[in-house]
Amino acid sequence: MREHVDSKRFRLHVLWGWLMALCFAGSLLASAAPAPAAPLVTRCELEGVVDAGSGAYLADCVKRAEASGATALLVRLDTPGGELEATRAVVRAFLGSRVPVLVWVGPSGAHAGSAGVFIALASNVSAMAPGTNIGAAHPVGPGGEDLEAAGGTQLARKIENDTVAFAEGLARQRGRDAEWASIAVRDSASIPADRAVALHVVEFVVPTEAAFLAAVDGRRVEVAGGDTVTLVTRDARVVSLEPGVAQQVVHALAQPSLVYLLFLVAALGLVAELSHPGAVAPGLVGIVALVLALMASSTLPVRSGALVLMLAGVGLILAELFVTSGLLGAAGVSLLLLGGVFLVDRFEPGWFVDPSFRPSWGVMLPTALVLAGTAAFLAYRSAQTRGLPQRGGDAGLVGEAGTALGPVTSTGGEVFVHGERWRAVSFTPIHEGARVVVRAVEGLTLTVAEAMP
Q: pLDDT at position 329, please?
A: 72
Residues 6 or more apart in contact with residue 54 via CB below 8 angstroms: 46, 48, 82, 86, 243, 247, 251, 254
Q: Are residues 198 and 335 in the same domain?
A: no
Q: pLDDT at position 14, please?
A: 53
Domain boundary among 191, 219, 244: 244
Give CA 56 to chain center in angstroms.
17
Q: Are residues 91 and 201 in the same domain?
A: yes
Q: Are residues 80 and 120 in the same domain?
A: yes
Q: Are residues 191 and 271 in the same domain?
A: no
Q: pLDDT at position 362, please?
A: 73
Domain boundary among 244, 277, 292: 244
Q: Are residues 208 and 76 in the same domain?
A: yes
Give per-residue pLDDT as tens, 197-255.
999 999 999 999 999 999 999 999 999 988 999 999 999 999 999 988 777 777 677 77
Q: How far is Cα 300 from Cα 273, in angstroms, rounded to an integer?
A: 28
Q: Are residues 212 and 309 in the same domain?
A: no
Q: Are residues 52 and 199 in the same domain?
A: yes
In a domain, 416, yes or no: yes
Stretch (H or E) spanning 45: strand 40-47
In a domain, 21, yes or no: no
Q: Which residues of 187-207 are buried (b: 16+ CB within 10 A; e: fewer)?
A: ebbbbbbebbbebebbbbbbe
Residues 6 or more apart in contact with residue 159 via CB below 8 angstroms: 139, 147, 349
Stretch (H or E) spanning 213: helix 209-216
Cβ atoms 39, 233 nearer than 8 A: yes
In a domain, 116, yes or no: yes
Q: pLDDT at position 97, please?
A: 95
DSSP secondary structure letter of residue 71:
S
Name 237's bridge partners.
40
Instruction: Give how far Cα 439 sits from Cα of 349, 386, 411, 414, 448, Å.
Output: 75, 22, 16, 15, 5
- How many domains, the chain? 3
CATH number of residue 72's parent domain: 3.90.226.10
Q: Reading across the β-sheet that carries 111-113, which strands appear in turn?
A: 111-113, 133-135, 190-192
Q: Are residues 379 and 399 in the same domain?
A: no
In a domain, 224, yes or no: yes
Can you list the residues of the chain whose pLDDT is less than 70?
Answer: 1-37, 137-156, 251, 275-276, 298-301, 321, 324-326, 345-358, 360, 372, 375-396, 453
Question: Could you tell me the sign of the dihedral formed by the alpha carbons of 190, 196, 198, 201, in that order?
Answer: positive
Q: By C-alpha distance, which of 136, 127, 85 is closest to 106?
A: 127
In a domain, 433, yes or no: yes
**DSSP labels, 153-172:** HHHHHHHHHHHHHHHHHHHH
Q: By C-alpha distance, which of 135, 137, 139, 164 is closest to 149?
A: 139
Identify the domain containing residue 82 by its residue range: 40-244
In a domain, 67, yes or no: yes
Give per-residue pLDDT as tens, 357-375.
667 677 777 777 777 677 6
Q: Are residues 134 and 212 in the same domain?
A: yes
389 CB-contact burial (10 Å; exposed 0-12 / middle 13-18 / buried 19+): exposed
Classify the phi-psi angles of 72: left when phi > 0, otherwise alpha if psi is within -120 to 50, otherwise beta: beta
AA identity, residue 285: V
Q: What is the pTM of this model?
A: 0.63
Q: Are residues 265 and 235 in the same domain?
A: no
Q: How far is Cα 389 from Cα 138, in angstroms, rounded to an integer?
A: 66
Domain boundary among 244, 263, 283: 244
Q: pLDDT at position 351, please?
A: 57
In a domain, 239, yes or no: yes
In a domain, 17, yes or no: no
Q: How far is Cα 339 from Cα 297, in angstroms, rounded to an integer?
A: 14
Give per-residue pLDDT as tens, 107-118.
999 999 888 999
Q: Are residues 363 and 405 in the same domain?
A: no
SS3 content of the chain, % helix, strand, coil (to 5): 50, 20, 30
Q: Are residues 112 and 55 in the same domain?
A: yes
